[in-house]
Structure 1
């Protein structure tokens, strides 16, 4: 699974399960989350477009591979905060909690699922940041090599 598919799945999870709570939609953290996602896209897509059309400038390359890393980390922190802030809503309403009829009856309490997702989110972010840093190192190295050979 590529980075884009992971981002789409993660955003859909947050949009449909977390932000779908009407009481939570007017919360400031939702607005900040949308801003962070849009900043990430504004750093990524113009660079990708310039790669298709011509060679992007060093400033565009640097912004894409340097500025996007802390913005990504901040967006994940905001995602974690939004999940944490929705826990009382799901706790009080019992939404998405269910009893599964299997040979062993299992009750899944949705706030526990969300709490279990938070460490997974942190672990995935750590791995993603390491990959992004390595990708940044390779891209900046290839840029300096390209400049030296020109």
Structure 2
């Protein structure tokens, strides 16, 4: 399951707590800063591409084609985050990070790229916009955190924008997978039928339905988890403001 801010609140909270004990070394920090700056810039390029394409066309339909290449490049570039966790320079769960990253890479390549008929669907733009705003905020948050100079506005945005972006992204993802189903079934995409020498079968159409169903139990759990994280991170500031 992929979502604009899935688990990011938990990750950021655990990272901030870990850094107080032991942060990455100098070289690792320099590398992570460079990586996050590049990723921030990449998603900004996607955002600008969307705006320019919209202004040029005067319509939001089919805007995916204007940012297809940078979207694939920078979303795939997030695979390095799994490596960061695996080697220990980022104190986050390898399993959780891998799940988050791979779910988006799956939707990018195994659904949107593979089923070209859905690329003109408005639902694609829905999750692309949600991802873009989320990633600009997320990578900016990491960059400034590593530099020990995190503006409150970015911190607030990271723990607030998901309230809208998460459901928006999930809706776009589900609608895109749903739109792909008839094309996948008709073409037999990525499916393996019997008989074959491996005596193994796989129905990609059924697999996509299973993926959609998995959103039902996962979405509320993750969404309300992030709401609790927001209260932990921002709650004391808001309470202080009310007293003032």
TM-score, structure 2 as length reference: 0.52
1:61 and 2:159 aligned: no
Match of 1:96 among 175, 190, 210: 190
Gaps of 5+ in 1: none
Distance 1:24 1:60 in 2: 33
Gaps of 5+ in 2: 1-93
Aligned residues: 145
Distance 2:183 2:137 in 1: 34
Classify the secondary structure of the residue corresponding to 1:96: coil
1:10 offset after TM fit, Å?
0.6
Aligned-residue CA RMSD in angstroms?
2.6
1:6 and 2:6 aligned: no
1:81 offset after TM fit, Å?
0.5
Q: Label 1:34 to 1:134 Cα distance change in 2 as closer, same or farther (>3 A).
A: same
1:69 offset after TM fit, Å?
2.9
1:86 and 2:190 aligned: no
8 Å Cα contact 1:43-1:68 kept in structure 2: no
TM-score, structure 1 as length reference: 0.80
Task: Show the counterpart of 1:33.
Answer: 127
Of structures 1 and 2, the one scoring higher in RCO (CA 8 A, sep 6+) is: 2
Distance 1:43 1:7 in 2: 16
1:122 offset after TM fit, Å?
2.8
Classify the secondary structure of the residue corresponding to 1:118: helix
1:138 offset after TM fit, Å?
1.0
